[in-house]
Structure 1
Amino acid sequence: MNVVICEDNLEQLSEITKTIHNYALMEDNGIMIGLSTTNPLEVVDYAEKNKVDCYFIDIDLNHEMTGLKLASNIRQSDPICCIIFVTTHSEMSYLTFTYKVAALDFILKDEVDLVEARVLNALKEAHRRYQQIGQDKAVNLVKLKVGSRTRNIEFHDIYFFEASPNPHKLIIHLHNEQIEFSGRLKNYDKLGEHFYRCHKSYIINKQHIQQIDVAERMIIMRNGETCLASSRLLKGLL
């Protein structure tokens, strides 16, 4: 679960970051902090390039973009991520409804002794929801168990599945990442209209094909990786 934190107070930013990092390290549950910043524009830029599952946002960021505007921007492009506000402005909690951001929690910094516990409780609830997302068939995600961790990967981010040389293992190829996990190719034959079994060892995402070399029976993907194709299945793909 990828977490982003946006808080203008450097000391409080450090405390929230440390709380989440220590919990993730202790539990080894796959929670990671992708970005910890005081600048909401950095959050917008990061979210455009990366899948973010949970945000901790201060409402008053001492910036022309408030935390509420940032959250509204995020919600317009991502209807399922968790947004948690951490702020001193309790009187602004009602505005979260006005901006329709569907916040998971509203944590007050004034309650100093409770902030760490509230951050952890909100983080645990966000993680619980994250783990359930892959079970929702209406959401186009592949849910992978990698050791003790869970990864939810959107269909669009998948380039292809490959049979691993290790028994009963598959390798899922993303743009610049490969993940080995337990599974069988036949379980992903019916994943969706964009996925095609081109070889006994490969299922490709047709959206990411860059070129098909018919003579070599080779499919070149947009990230430069290649997949084999059998003569019969290549004809079906063409």
Structure 2
Amino acid sequence: MNIVICEDDRVQLEKTKEIIENYAMMEDNGIKVVLATANPHDVLSFLQEDKADCYFLDIDLKDEITGITLGSKIREEDPIASLVYITTHAEMSFLTFIYKLAALDFIIKDNPDSLKEKLLSTLKEAHRRYLKLGEQDNIQKLQIKTTGRTHNIDFQNIYFFEASPDSHKIILHLENEHIEFYGRLKNYEGLHPDFYRCHKSFIVNKSKIKNIDSKERSINLDNGELCYASARLIKGLLKETTFT
């Protein structure tokens, strides 16, 4: 589970990051702080390229972009991420309802001694929800489990599936990452309309194809990788795409 923190008080920013990272290290549960910043524009830039699973935000960010505005921008990009507000402004909690942000929690910085307890309680609940996402049919994410980790991956971030040389394993190809997990390709070919079984060893995401060499039966992906199609299955792929 990837986490973003946006807090204008740098002492509080580092404290929040420390609490989360210490918990993640002790539990070895795959929780990771991918961005900790005092600048909400950094979060907006992050959203252009990526998504997190949980956001810890202050409301008053000493910027024209407030935590509420930032939460609205996050919701436009990701309706299911967990939003958590940590702030001294208890009177502003109603804004999360007015703007329909569906915040997971609203933590008040009234007592430093209890802040850690509240933060960890909310973090655990966010992680519990993250682990349950794979049980929801309407979520456009693939949930896979590796040793000690659960990954929720947007369908749109998948380039192709490849049968691993290791029996009963699959290699999932993302833009800059490969994840190997137990599974059978036949269980994934009908998972999304863009997923096409092009070979006994490959399922390709049609939306990630750059071009197809029909003579070599090779498929070039947008991230520079290659996968292959069989003589029989490439015909159907060419019919469903505009690539030649």
Instruction: Determine if the TM-score, normalized by the shorter chain, exceeds 0.5.
Output: yes
Q: Which amino acid aligns with 1:30?
A: G
SS, match of residue 76 in structure 1: helix
1:237 Cα offset (Å): 1.1
1:196 Cα offset (Å): 0.8
CA–CA distance in 1 between the matches of 2:229 and 2:76? Answer: 40
What residue ranges of structure 1 are gaps of 5+ in the alignment? none
Aligned to 1:184: 184
SS, match of residue 231 in structure 1: coil
5 Å matches for 1:85-124?
85-124=85-124
Please tell me the root mean square deviation across aligned C-alpha atoms, in Å: 0.9
Q: Which amino acid aligns with 1:205?
A: N
1:229 Cα offset (Å): 1.0
5 Å matches for 1:1-238?
1-238=1-238
Q: Which amino acid aligns with 2:235?
A: K
The C-alpha deviation readout for 1:178-210, integer Å capped at 9, x for no partner, is 111111111112112111111110000011111
CA–CA distance in 1 between the matches of 2:207 and 2:134? Answer: 21
Q: Which amino acid aligns with 1:219?
A: I
Native 8 Å contact 2:217 2:229 kept in 1 = yes
CA–CA distance in 2 between the matches of 1:152 and 1:221? Answer: 22
The C-alpha deviation readout for 1:104-132, integer Å capped at 9, x for no partner, is 11111112211001111111111111111
Runs of 4 or more above 6 Å deviation: none
SS, match of residue 20 in structure 1: helix
1:176 Cα offset (Å): 1.0
CA–CA distance in 2 between the matches of 1:114 and 1:202? Answer: 51
If the length of structure 2 is used for normalisation, what is the TM-score? 0.95
CA–CA distance in 2 between the matches of 1:32 and 1:98? Answer: 30
The C-alpha deviation readout for 1:44-85, integer Å capped at 9, x for no partner, is 111221121100001111111111111111112211111100
Percent identity between the aligned chains?
A: 55
CA–CA distance in 2 between the matches of 1:141 and 1:55? Answer: 18
1:33 Cα offset (Å): 0.5
What residue ranges of structure 2 are gaps of 5+ in the alignment? 239-244
CA–CA distance in 2 between the matches of 1:60 and 1:236? Answer: 54
Instruction: Report how many aligned residue pairs link the two structures.
Output: 238
Q: Which amino acid aligns with 1:217?
A: R
